[in-house]
Amino acid sequence: MSEPLLSIRDLVTEFDTQDGLIRAVDHVSFDVGRGEVVGVVGESGSGKSVTAMSVMGLVPPNVGRVVQGQALFDGQDLLAASPEEMRRLRGDELAIIFQDPITSLNPVLTVGAQIGEAIRTHRDLSKDDARSEAVELLTAVGVDDAERRVDQYPHEFSGGMRQRVMIAIAIANRPKLLIADEPTTALDVTVQAQVLELLSRTQQEMQSSIVLITHDLGLVAEVADRVVVMYAGRVVETGSVHEIFQEPRHPYTRGLLASRPGLGGSDRLPAIPGQAPSLLAMPTGCKFHPRCDQSDGRAPCWEEEPSLRVIGADADDRASRCHYHEELARERTAETPRPRGRWWRR
């Protein structure tokens, strides 16, 4: 495999809170290949967004800090880059889309002005040329009648259309890496599918890489090539989408798969029992053991935290942080994944 576009190595990010210091991201490592879509999944509070913020240089400096690690982007360590350099890279080679487009868009500027600004910050274009490009971008992301809508304000757009505008801004300079943090969580199911389709198409056209952050494994099956599962600030399993769905090798991943909503997004199955631990009062040993249906009270689970170990000899980036992941391999789930999504068609 060629050198990854992004290589996150041993990332540790902490916050000062009223109740004490918390380690939101604890020695996280994973790679994002060129042209690859990596899904980062986990329950709320598992450290997905903080990982993204760390890589983008957006950890709020008064309360939080990256204390360790590297994020090698095309060989350059983003965590060691100056704030000026990060400002230059963001919106140009790197872009991020957040869950809630209304707080990311400026309510007093037209959509066209905001897309134009994104373009003109990084390229020397006249206002007129930037506006024409904004119209093209809006058309490309599926906003009808873009020539007229380019002069409208964010509040004149629906939630789904605003997220399309955010995507237009994010891809305006054809970034090599796009991080999408819960990009469709605020949208209804049909619009979710359209926005995902747009992201997927954009990625293919631009040959960019995408990190898709979501609490919903179903979304990952639709668009991702590879999956990184996070729990309590740690990576607990990695593998291809196919491997993760066919044969989860961590009890937490297995639980996430079992609690996936059905097609259509309704009829949610029971969630994994219990709650994710407080970062202020972490269990000993494996951080998942108090909720684990595989541990059965075995001592290693509460005595010693497992490391993230590579599974198999020829496995390409397949790893699990469970002492007993081999047991999971033997008792393969009878359920096979639904025949849908990109990975299935290949």
Sites of contact with ligand ADP (CB under 6 A): 15, 17, 24, 42, 44-50, 60, 63-64, 279
Q: Which does 244 bind (CB under 5 to 8 A by kind): ligand ADP, Mg ion, none?
A: none
Q: Which is nearer to ligand ADP, 48 or 131 (CB)?
A: 48
**Closest distance between ligand ADP and the C-beta of residue 73, in Å?**
20
Examine residue 114 and tell whether it contacts Mg ion (CB under 5 A). no
Q: Which stretch binds Mg ion (CB under 5 A): 46-54, 105-113, 192-200, 227-235?
A: 46-54
**Closest distance between ligand ADP and the C-beta of residue 279, in Å?**
5
Q: Which is nearer to Mg ion, 49 or 202 (CB)?
A: 49
Q: Which of residues 16-45 bind Mg ion (CB under 5 A)?
A: none
Q: Which is nearer to ligand ADP, 59 or 95 (CB)?
A: 59
Q: Which does 307 bind (CB under 5 to 8 A by kind): ligand ADP, Mg ion, none?
A: none
Q: Which does 60 bind (CB under 5 to 8 A by kind): ligand ADP, Mg ion, none?
A: ligand ADP
3-state secondary structure the chain: CCCCCEEEEEEEEEEEECCEEEEEEEEEEEEECCCCEEEEECCCCCCHHHHHHHHHCCCCCCCEEEEEEEEEECCEEHHHCCHHHHHHHECCCEEEECCCHHHHCCCCCCHHHHHHHHHHHHCCCCHHHHHHHHHHHHHHCCCCCHHHHCCCCHHHCCHHHHHHHHHHHHHCCCCCEEEEECCCCCCCHHHHHHHHHHHHHHHHHHCCEEEEEECCHHHHHHHCCEEEEEECCEEEEEEEHHHHHHCCCCHHHHHHHHCCCCCCCCCCCCCCCCCCCCCCCCCCCCCCHHHCCCCCCCHHHHHCCCCCEECCCCCCCCEECCCCHHHHHHCCCCCCCCCCCHHHHC
Binding residue for Mg ion (CB under 5 A) from 49, 51, 200, 209?
49
**Closest distance between ligand ADP and the C-beta of residue 244, in Å?**
18
Which residues sit at the interface with Mg ion, rule CB under 5 A?
49
